[in-house]
Structure 1
């Protein structure tokens, strides 16, 4: 693997701590990065992803798509010769689980009006 095909990435967690920096091939996908983040996640954190689908990667204000490669995202990274690119990691549980939980937690609505039909 050529040296110029490698990109050095660091992942910034919600509390300001980091995973990395580590070198990745330009052909690595965002989904592969997420899998690595989940496997490297510090055990002492209160918030932790259960799966790669719970992780969102943000760089330059954009959420990166799973099917894109680092090489395809590179223009958003900018040209940093020899620099380390920092991506922000957001943990967001799967929407299906959260919706079900929110619906279950809602109290039953009572109708505040009472209408009389004469």
Structure 2
């Protein structure tokens, strides 16, 4: 287990101002690991719910964090204050390919429900 000094305390601010966390992470934890934890801890009473960890975008210091980056690489310089909790913002955004395929399915279902029949004589 990493030493207490090496741990970073993070909390995640959701779209409605509520928080998930704070949790302690190693500085070597990746953004992908953070997203997986957020997904598993997502409050059940929210209207917007990510389906996968890829639907979650994390923002820290105005930058969208890349999945392969570590916590140490994502921290802003002013986050090095002792005993501070770093707040990262969470945006739920479905992947474009899935969003397009779901929209196409909805359009197909809508077109099947209403149809027009014309007879020209």
Place the TM-score, normalised by the shorter chain, in its bin. 0.7 to 0.9
The one-character-per-residue Cα deviations of 1:60-118 (angstroms, maximum 9, x if unpaired) are 0000000001012224563221100000000001111222344564xxxxxxxxxxxxx
Question: Are the equivalent residues in 2 in contact too, given 1:13–1:19 (CA < 8 A)?
Answer: yes
Aligned length: 108
- In 2 relative to 1, CA 54–77 (structure 1 residues): closer, same or farther, beyond 3 Å? farther
- In 2 relative to 1, CA 32–76 (structure 1 residues): closer, same or farther, beyond 3 Å? farther
Answering whether residue 26 of structure 2 is matched by residue 34 of structure 1, we say no
Whole-Å Cα distance in 2 between the matches of residues 46 and 64 of structure 1? 24
SS at match of 2:75: helix
SS at match of 1:78: helix
What is the aligned partner in structure 2 of residue 66 from structure 1? 67
In structure 1, runs of 5+ residues without a counterpart are: 106-118
Answering whether residue 51 of structure 2 is matched by residue 50 of structure 1, we say yes
Question: Are the equivalent residues in 1 in contact too, given 2:12–2:19 (CA < 8 A)?
Answer: yes
Answering whether residue 76 of structure 2 is matched by residue 87 of structure 1, we say no
Question: Are the equivalent residues in 2 in contact too, given 1:56–1:91 (CA < 8 A)?
Answer: yes
Whole-Å Cα distance in 2 between the matches of residues 47 and 74 of structure 1? 27
Q: Output the aligned Cα RMSD.
A: 2.1
In structure 2, runs of 5+ residues without a counterpart are: 108-121
- In 2 relative to 1, CA 77–47 (structure 1 residues): closer, same or farther, beyond 3 Å? farther
What is the aligned partner in structure 2 of residue 110 from structure 1? none
